[in-house]
Amino acid sequence: MAEAFGQRAALITGASRGIGRGIALALAHLGGYDLAINYHSNETAAQETAAACREEARRAGHRLRAEIVRGDVAAAVDRRALIDFMRTVYGRLDLLVNNAGVAPSVRADILEASEESFDRLMAIDLKGPYFLTQLAARYMIEQLGGRVAAPGEMAIVTITSVSAYAASTNRGDYCIAKAGLAMHTKLWAARLAEYGIGVFEVRPGIIETDMTAPVKARYDALFAQGLTPIARWGTPADVGKAVAAIAAGHFPYSTGLVLDVDGGFGVRQL
């Protein structure tokens, strides 16, 4: 087993860029965790994230180990390999962040959308996190060795979207996947409470990333028209701070909690 720095370890899926990178940087700033930066295809971006995390930790006065690990969460063999990586490299897993996800290849009206697109998106965005959580939870329980985790000691966080409840008829598969992840959080929260493992959902709104770049002009106009009370794009750093608050143990008497990072999108106004 390679040497870590005697602290907890976190696995962040889809962490090479965007929201995943923002989460990794927030955890690096927090301190107390070595990081596994999961990526699927962009190794260069993953290396950049790992280097940025090391530098962020240095500036904050921490030491950490940040390693990259390739894996497609849609593939069972890769999900197992991610947990094996945590066993071999860090010898532990204390925080899982289910962040990896994709948008539809083509935004298609639900009257026309294809099964192929649906199946691809469900495999990555819903099935992958569900079964990775199963593997991670088993490993966490094994680590506990029959005891109950202390409040805030272990957590599983899933990044969803306001699309869990806000309907977009040109990307129905994405909305259904995110709604499924909301229930995934409730299910795992109920199942893992006896072990003291907290399970949380962080629900971003309109976040400025590569994924949203093609619709930037549209949302710029919507913000100007009052789409959200906080009239700006969200950032990956905004989401990262929410995950870091969970990782820091600031919600010791909560599980199944939804943290909205959406500029107030869900606020109804008259």
Write the pLDDT tens digit of every residue in 84-93: 999 999 999 9
User: Is the pLDDT at 141 greater than 90, yes or no?
Assistant: yes
Asked if residues 53 and 35 have their Cβ atoms less than 8 Å apart, the reply is: yes
What token pair was written down for 247? 């990782």
Q: How confident is the model at residue 212 (pLDDT cuts 50, 70, 90)?
A: confident
| Residues 18-43, mean pLDDT to the nearest whole number | 98
DSSP string of the chain, one letter each residue: -----SSEEEEETT-SSHHHHHHHHHHHHH-SEEEEEEESS-HHHHHHHHHHHHHHHHHHT----EEEEE--TTSHHHHHHHHHHIIIIIS---EEEE------SS---TTT--HHHHHHHHIIIIIHHHHHHHHHHHHHHHHHTTSPPPTTS-EEEEE--GGGTS--TT-HHHHHHHHHHHHHHHHHHHHHGGGT-EEEEEEE-SB-STTTGGGHHHHHHHHHTTSSSS-S-B-HHHHHHHHHHHHTT--TT-SSEEEEESTTTT----
Q: CB neighbours (10 Å) of residue 179? A: 17
Please report the pLDDT score of residue 2 as a whole number.
45
> How far is the C-alpha of 237 from the C-alpha of 69, rounded, in Å?
22
Full-prediction pTM beyond 0.85? yes
Query: Which candidate, 156, 162, 170, 246, places its Cα nearest to that of 207?
Result: 162
pLDDT, averaged across the chain:
96
Please report the pLDDT score of residue 215 as a whole number.
84
| pLDDT tens sequence across 151-165 | 999 999 999 999 999
User: Is the pLDDT at 4 greater than 70, yes or no?
Assistant: no
Residues in contact with 5: Cβ distance below 8 Å, sequence separation at least 6, in sequence order: 34, 63, 64, 65
User: Is the pLDDT at 40 greater than 60, yes or no?
Assistant: yes
Asked if residues 85 and 136 have their Cβ atoms less than 8 Å apart, the reply is: no
Please report the pLDDT score of residue 1 as a whole number.
40
Percent of the chain residues past pLDDT 90, beyond the cut: 91
Domain boundaries, the chain: 8-261
User: Is the pLDDT at 252 greater than 80, yes or no?
Assistant: yes
What token pair was written down for 150? 């202390």
CATH 3.40.50.720 fits 8-261, yes or no: yes
> How far is the C-alpha of 232 from the C-alpha of 222, rounded, in Å?
10
Please report the pLDDT score of residue 11 as a whole number.
99
| Residues 15-21, mean pLDDT to the nearest whole number | 97
Please report the pLDDT score of residue 30 as a whole number.
97
| Residues 196-209, mean pLDDT to the nearest whole number | 96
Please report the pLDDT score of residue 214 as a whole number.
83
What token pair was written down for 114? 């294809």
Neighbouring C-alpha atoms within 13 Å toward the C-beta of 26: 23
Active site residues: 174
Q: CB neighbours (10 Å) of residue 1? A: 9
| Residues 36-47, mean pLDDT to the nearest whole number | 98
| pLDDT tens sequence across 43-85 | 999 999 999 999 999 999 999 999 999 999 999 999 999 999 9
| Residues 4-13, mean pLDDT to the nearest whole number | 86
